[in-house]
Amino acid sequence: GGKPEGEKEFVDAMCGEAQAQGVNFRRLLALMKKGSLDVLFLNSSYRRYPDTKGVREALKKVKFIVHRGFFMEPETEACDLFIPATFSPESSGSHYGAEKQVVWRNKAVDAPGACVPDWQFYRDLGRKLFPDRYPKWEDPAELYELFRKTIPSWTGMTLERLEKSPDGVVWPVYELNGPERLGTIFDKGVYLTEDGKLPFSSNLLGPIRWDYPKGSPHGKDKNPEYPLTFTQGKVLTQWQQTLTNYSGALAAFSNGRTISIHPETAKQYGVAQGEKVVLETPTGSIEGRADVTDTIMPGIVFTPSHFIPSSPFEQTRSEPINSVVPNVWDRISAQFNGGGCRLRKA
């Protein structure tokens, strides 16, 4: 699974190799805190990152912020210029799925007002900034074919082929009219390495070993004030902190900000089903209703990760989950789950 490759290869072929090193979020956050950024394009939610309040404070030190989005959200309040974007049905383009299948989407309806699709916004911006280097193309179909003809692993994934396949075409296809590589790779139970085993080591990280996350109540740096293990994640009716929060149909199926705990944990803290509780971490606190269930282990706390304070529906309205997620990264997985937390009645 994952994203089909070729993006960096295409950019290098069109514009030459980048002279500066790429900036990941951690480096970007450090630059923001120092006040070293003049312009920031905010194309997603800053609430997707841990210690959301800290990120919001860092944004205040950026001289000029451009935000592209769909709704009047906290990101809109943080920016200097808001440019309304288009939803998928309002623009043509390609998508990829979890199994690297590429699907072509034709525009279905016109976008309202001054909404501008991503491809047009960045094409026009690229022409203004780099008129001598930016590739010449006029629409998504022309850009896609330029990409396909440039990247060998996309050679057989013609636009005509994509349009004939509503389920998409699985990347890579190296030859015109070449077959898709379908099926399970590891059906023999053997990894495609020299010895058939998975090496738990890398040149960058060295030997990989497991330890409790920093701040875990079971780790060597545990804080007795936060004796429970905090976890968060997706639930059936929601996906991200964006579109699904604005759906009344999905909100009708939502139980809101629930905080799931085992009956033993509930008894320990004197908490009953449906009672209002406050989940606290070293970073912040969030309020919800207790969901006492034996589907979770004793000592573990779980709450959904999707809700936002700007949702028009009570069922999906809450402080962002990352307001209580500490900015502590696991060096192997780059995940944040597993830190310490505590509960109290609201």
Residue type, 30: A
Residues 244 and 223: their CA atoms lie apart, in Å, by 36
Residue 50 has pLDDT above 70, yes or no: yes
Residue 238: pLDDT above 80? Answer: no
- Could you give the CA distance from residue 13 to residue 17 in angstroms, rounded to a whole number? 8
Of the pLDDT bands very low, low, confident and very high (cuts 50, 70, 90), residue 42 is confident
Q: Are 14 and 40 in contact (CB under 8 A)?
A: no
User: What mean pLDDT comes out for the span 85-101?
Assistant: 91
Question: Tokens 């949702």, residue?
Answer: 311
Could you tell me the pTM of the whole model? 0.77
Provide, rounded to the nearest whole percent, the portion of the chain with pLDDT above 70.
93
- Residue 116 is predicted with a pLDDT of 87
Are 154 and 173 in contact by the 8 Å Cβ rule? The answer is yes
CATH number of 228-345: 2.40.40.20
Helix, strand, coil distribution of the chain in percent, nearest 5: 25, 20, 55
- What is the Cα–Cα distance from 118 to 120, expressed in whole angstroms? 5
Q: How confident is the model at residue 110 (pLDDT cuts 50, 70, 90)?
A: very high
Q: Is the peptide bond before 172 cis (omega within 30 degrees of 0)?
A: yes
User: What residue ranges do the domains of the chain occupy?
Assistant: 7-36+85-170, 228-345
pLDDT mean over 291-302: 97
Q: Fold for 7-36+85-170, please state it.
A: Rossmann fold (3.40.50)
Looking at residue 224, its amino acid is: P
List, as one string, the DSSP characters of 150-195.
H-GGGTT--HHHHHT-TT-EESP--STTPPP--S-TTTTS--SSTT
Whether the Cβ atoms of residue 147 and residue 154 lie closer than 8 Å to each other: yes
95 pLDDT higher than 70 = yes
CA 271 to chain centre: 33
**Once rounded to an integer, what is the mean pLDDT over residues 48-52?**
85
Three-class SS of residue 301?
A: strand
Pairwise CA distance, residues 135 & 336, whole Å: 39
Tokens of 143: 């850009």
Matching CATH topology for 7-36+85-170 and 228-345? no
Q: Which of 330, 176, 304, 172 is nearest to 250 (CA)?
A: 304
pLDDT at residue 18, rounded to an integer: 76
